[in-house]
Amino acid sequence: MTELASRPFKLDAGALVLRDFEEGDTDGVHAIVGDERVTHWLSFDSRSREEAQAMLDGILDRQNCSPRPEYYLAITESASPEVIIGFARLGLGGVKAADLGYALRPEWQHRGHARTAVSRMIEFAFNDLRLHRLTANIGPANTASMRLVESLGFQREGTIRDHVHTNGAWRDSVSFSLLEGEWPVSR
């Protein structure tokens, strides 16, 4: 797997920046993973501040692994790099492949920010990491997320039954993929 050495890692995306998480980002992480309006759609339940701190500690540890197993990046506005408005993650695994994940705080949704940030992450995955295949697994009721990936060229592959246990119940995922050569999508 291609290893990009720069630390801290940062991708510019117009009005947004995707950057490595830092010590001190606990409140920013908790603002996302502690908000039920966000975690309702994710593969895990809402987390306390202590759990958010543990999650951040794990992200910071994994940033320093070589080869890097993931790019778990904070999304901020370029003008306010200290205010975390969301996250985007590429979890590397398999042969030239990665799982894509993302979430935005509710106050920053519906402004095109997810499209901007996820597009930049995809560009990085194919152009810099030279990956071949990206997957996104999305809850069947998550219209916003499915709309997002379909608008970026992902194709629906099928249903993964009882894929995650979240909000007290098993939940299917709809699996989407995007292959190198299918990007960039023309709109």
Within 10 angstroms of residue 28's Cβ, the number of other Cβ atoms is 22
For residues 7 and 111, which CB has a smaller minimum distance to ligand COA in the complex?
111
Euclidean distance between the first and the last CA atom of the chain, given in angstroms as a whole number: 31
CB count in 10 Å sphere of residue 125: 24
| Minimum CB–partner distance for residue 36 and ligand COA (Å) | 11
Taking the C-alpha atoms of residue 134 and residue 149, their distance in angstroms, rounded to an integer, is 11
98 within 8 A of 125, measured Cβ to Cβ? yes
What are the residues whose beta carbons fall under 8 Å from the beta carbon of 83, sequence distance 6 or more?
Answer: 28, 76, 77
Task: Pick the closer one to ligand COA by CB: 76 or 145.
Answer: 145
Q: What is the dihedral of CA 41, 184, 175, 86, to 10 degrees?
A: -20
Q: What's the closest the beta carbon of residue 13 comes to ligand COA, in angstroms?
A: 12
CB closer to ligand COA, 1 vs 115: 115
Stretch 122-161: interaction string toward ligand COA, x if CB under 6 A: ----------------x---xxxx-xx--x----------
CB of 168 vs ligand COA, minimal distance in Å: 18
Identity of the residue, 124 or 139, whose beta carbon is nearer to ligand COA in the bound complex: 139
Residues that bind ligand COA (CB under 6 A): 38, 41-42, 102-104, 109-115, 138, 142-145, 147-148, 151
